[in-house]
Amino acid sequence: MAKIKPGKNASKKDVINQKAAVLFREKGFSSASMRELAEAVGVEAPSLYNHIGGKSELLQEICFKVANAFTSYLDTTENMEESFAARVEHIIRFHIRMMLDHFDEVYVANHEWKHLKEPYLSNFLIQRRGYEKRLIGLLEGGIAAKEFKQTNPYVAVLTILSAVRGLEFWQQHKKNISSRELEDDMVNHLLKGITK
């Protein structure tokens, strides 16, 4: 997921997409109005429609941009010649960095996907389910290779994905802790637990 730089690199469409992500995160998709978005962009509401197809198209682009970023990173890790534990750690760290670097988009994809229209809604859920399945496969591999404890891989994946997702709270009231420290602490907690 490339970061959009302000300036001549960013087309009007890019600006609209980025402002939409911020607005949808702040107010939720349904509460955010096209008039507010237009104001954030600096035009009148009808002018937006020279660049975009409609409100729901904006949500689609955000959700699938995020989903595709995660899917393609998972492709990468599956081709790595590393231990299962190392690959799971890579994925956890990627999730953490995505949350920190693309906060608005990831937040919107996590919270507002239910407002996608068909067939996008179904496609999104299928893609997410596939992602989870492949992650569960990685956990199962690690269990079979005796790198992980004998545990329910489904619950483990659920726990990991939920924990990294929770970084959205951290993002909101930035604490006096570096993102590197945060990453290490969370990875350690998830892989090794907290009890001695």
Partner DNA sequence: CCTACCGATCGGTAGG
Choices 26-34, 78-86, 142-150, 180-188 (CB under 7 A): range interacting with DNA: 26-34
Spatial contact of 181 and 170, defined as CB atoms under 8 Å apart:
no
- Closest approach of Cβ 89 to a copy of itself, in Å? 10
Round to whole Å and give the CA distance between 3 and 132: 26
Q: Which is nearer to a copy of itself, 48 or 186 (CB)?
A: 186
Round to whole Å and give the CA distance between 17 and 49: 13
Q: What does 195 interact with, of a copy of itself, DNA, none (CB < 5 to 8 A by kind)?
A: a copy of itself
Q: Which is nearer to a copy of itself, 26 or 44 (CB)?
A: 26
User: Rule CB under 7 A: which of 128-147 touch DNA?
Assistant: none
Cα dihedral 10→14→15→21 (10° resolution): -140
Q: Does 36 bind DNA (CB under 7 A)?
A: yes
Round to whole Å and give the CA distance between 100 and 98: 5
Q: Which is nearer to DNA, 4 or 155 (CB)?
A: 4
